[in-house]
A and B are shown apart, each in its own frame.
Chain A
């Protein structure tokens, strides 16, 4: 972070809020359409988009130092490791018959 704090304006916050509202309607609407296995993919893609907007704009990570950005991404990577290794175990148990 520089000496002068980067201040996000009210306009940006309102735009992000409206985008989050549109995405919420989209996720509800998409749930009622039969997309087969892609229903979950669409729901998660929308949720990740919403979360990213909140993290970057509401939580100011857009203007954060490189150290903070690495910390945020590392948190997400550790989550992927937790999911990846555990699910590799659960989903492969039937492979050996």
Chain B
């Protein structure tokens, strides 16, 4: 029996079919490497349009801040550097745990994936918790743009514009984090069930790319929103 199997294996070229194909390899890909390359490139194409999406807000920020530097500086002074700084550390730490989750996937360690994803979700939760505290301060101080906005100093309309951009940019950033955490929760369950292998972990790598992108957006938001004119000039 073994000899006939060996003979047929030697005599016929390997033709992939539904039985012999490895689980998780889509039929239109020749190999896991090709499938992974397509997934990785596809995720980057998505992130490139995300760069343009956030880019519009950064552009609005540059235009208004250049036109009204004093108003933007006084608005920025109302933000809490300590809370913003802690959140920067927390978010970069979550990028580290996310990178380690992808590393665990590359090594084929399902439990490692689950642990590092849970840590990433927890750090994301800490970030959003601190953001909630900051938002509620702004609400009580009447610094939320709209009919209840109050500003005693000069140029209230453009200070309000600073807070408009602050809430639009950090709000959109926070929304991205909520989406990322929801995706991570699903992936953690699948990883727990052993859905990912050394060869097939595109979902984890893809969501990892997304999470790091959200981290990069914050890396720019923190100095641009929190650290204006702190040198006393």
Q: Does A96 contact B (CB under 8 A)?
A: no
B93 touching A79, Cβ below 8 Å: no
Residues of B with C-beta under 8 A to A74 = 48
Q: Does B59 contact A (CB under 8 A)?
A: yes
Known: A5-B33, A54-B215, A72-B48. A87 touches B223 (CB 8 A): no
Q: How far apart sit A75 and B59, CA to CA, in the bound complex (Å)?
A: 15
CB of B62 to closest CB in A, whole Å = 7
Q: Does B155 contact A (CB under 8 A)?
A: no
Q: How far apart sit A32 and B168, CA to CA, in the bound complex (Å)?
A: 26
CB of B63 to closest CB in A, whole Å = 5
A14 touching B85, Cβ below 8 Å: no
Q: How far apart sit A42 and B220, CA to CA, in the bound complex (Å)?
A: 12
Stretch at the interface among B18-26, B35-43, B131-139, B145-153: B35-43
Q: How far apart sit A47 and B110, CA to CA, in the bound complex (Å)?
A: 34
CB of A56 to closest CB in B, whole Å = 11
CB of A40 to closest CB in B, whole Å = 9
B223 touching A44, Cβ below 8 Å: yes
Contact pattern, A 1-35, Cβ under 8 Å of B = 1, otherwise 0? 11101011110011011001100100110011111
Q: Number of residues in B with C-beta < 8 Å to the partner?
A: 50
Known: A47-B223, A74-B48. A1 touches B37 (CB 8 A): yes
Contact residues on A (Cβ < 8 Å of other chain), bracket: 35 or more
A82 touching B55, Cβ below 8 Å: yes
Stretch at the interface among B8-16, B96-104, B157-165, B183-191: B96-104
Residues of A with C-beta under 8 A to B220 = 47, 51
Contact pattern, A 33-56, Cβ under 8 Å of B = 1, otherwise 0? 111100100011011001100110
CB of B79 to closest CB in A, whole Å = 12
CB of A51 to closest CB in B, whole Å = 5
Q: Does B156 contact A (CB under 8 A)?
A: no
Residues of B with C-beta under 8 A to A36 = 233
B96 touching A76, Cβ below 8 Å: no
A-B contact pairs, 25 of them (CB 8 A): A2-B33, A5-B106, A7-B106, A13-B96, A17-B95, A24-B88, A27-B222, A36-B233, A43-B223, A47-B223, A54-B215, A54-B216, A54-B219, A57-B99, A59-B212, A60-B40, A65-B37, A65-B41, A68-B37, A68-B41, A71-B48, A72-B44, A75-B44, A83-B55, A87-B63
Q: Which 10 residue pairs spanning A and B have beta carbons closest together?
A: A75-B48, A31-B227, A34-B231, A43-B223, A31-B230, A17-B96, A1-B37, A58-B99, A51-B216, A79-B55
